[in-house]
Amino acid sequence: MSDDGSKEMVETVDVSPRDPDVPQAPGADVFRQLLHQAVRVADMANSQAMRMALDFAKVYEREQGVRKEFENQLKQMTLMEKQATRYAEDLAGMLRSERERRQELERALAQERIASEDLRRTGLQGISHLVLAATIKDRTTGTHLQRVRRYVEAIAERLGLPASLVEEYGYSSVMHDVGKIHTPDHILQSEHHLSDAEFTVIKQHCIDGEKMLGTARFFETAREIAREHHERWDGKGYPDGKKGAAISLAARIVSVADVFDALTSKRPYKEAWSAEAGLEAIEAGAGERFDPEIVAGFIALAKEGVLERISSEVAASEDDGHPGTPAK
C-alpha cells in the first residue's frame, strides 16, 4: 500500500467511536478494529520508510563527502606528480648541461695539455739554441753543462724534490752561464788572472743571463739560477750579495755542481783537479760559500760513486762525437 493510499483511507473512513443511539450493522465493530490495525500498520510502514529514506540520505551525504575528499586528494596528487615531473625534467636538464660543461672543460684541458707540451718543446729548443751559442763562445762549456745538469738532478733527487722539479732544475741549470754570450772573448778565454775591471765585466754575465731569459714562466727557475749561481751562503757572493735561504734552492744546488765541475775540469788558466781535491774544496766551503745541507748531499753522492758514474757517462757521450772537455 502506498503512502497516498493509506492517507486517503484514513481521511475517507470514519473511525470515530460508535454513537450508541445509532443501530449498528452486524460485523461493524470487527471491521472498525481491522481498519484501526491497518492504519497503524500503514503508519509504522510509513515511519520505517521515512527512517530508511533519512538514513539513505545521510549515507549518501557522507559518501558524497568522501568522494569530494577523494577527488581533492586526487587533484593534489596530480599536481604533485606534475611538479615532480617538472623537477625531474629540470634536474635532467641541469645534469645534461653539467655533463656538457664537463666535456667542454675536458676538451679545453686536452687542448691546454697539447699547447703546454708545444710550449715546453719550444722552450727546450730555445735552450738548445742558447746552449749551442754558449758552447761556440766558450769551448769548455759543452760537457761542463752536461755534467752540471746531471749533478744538479742527482742532488735534487737526493734532497727528495718531486720529479717535475728535478727535471726543471736540470734543464734550467744548463742556462746558468748564457749571459757569457755578452762577455768579451779576451776576458772569457783569458789565461791570466783577471783584473778588477775585468772581473766586474765577468760579474755582469749573471744580470745579462737573467735578462736574456725573458719573462716566460718556463724560464723562471733558469732566470733565478742565472742571476744567483755566484751568490754565496755567507752573503759574500755576486751580483746581489744575497745570503742563505734568500738564494733560491735551485741556484744553491747549481753553485755546488758548477764549482765542483769547474775545479775538476781543465780550463785555459788551470789544469783539472782530481775529484778528491774538488770534493775537499767543496766540503771546506760548506756554510761559507755553499749551503751545508747541499754539500752533505753532494759528498754522499760522491761516496756512492754517483759523481764518478755521471762523469764517465758524459765522457762516453763526448766520445760519440759531442764537443767539449772531459772531466777528470
Residues forming contacts to Fe ion in the complex (CB under 5 A) are: 177
Q: Minimum Å distance from CB 123 to Fe ion?
A: 21
Closer of 177 and 291 to Fe ion (Cβ):
177
Q: Minimum Å distance from CB 256 to Fe ion?
A: 13
Closer of 6 and 204 to Fe ion (Cβ):
204
Closer of 140 and 311 to Fe ion (Cβ):
140
Closer of 177 and 208 to Fe ion (Cβ):
177
Residue nearest Fe ion, Cβ-based = 177
Q: Minimum Å distance from CB 233 to Fe ion?
A: 17
Residue 180 annotated among the catalytic residues of the structure: yes
Q: Which residues pair with 267 in a beta bridge?
A: 270
Q: Minimum Å distance from CB 205 to Fe ion?
A: 6
Q: Minimum Å distance from CB 103 to Fe ion?
A: 50
Closer of 158 and 169 to Fe ion (Cβ):
169
Kindly name the residue from 58, 137, 180, 303 that is annotated as catalytic: 180
Residues taking part in catalysis: 180
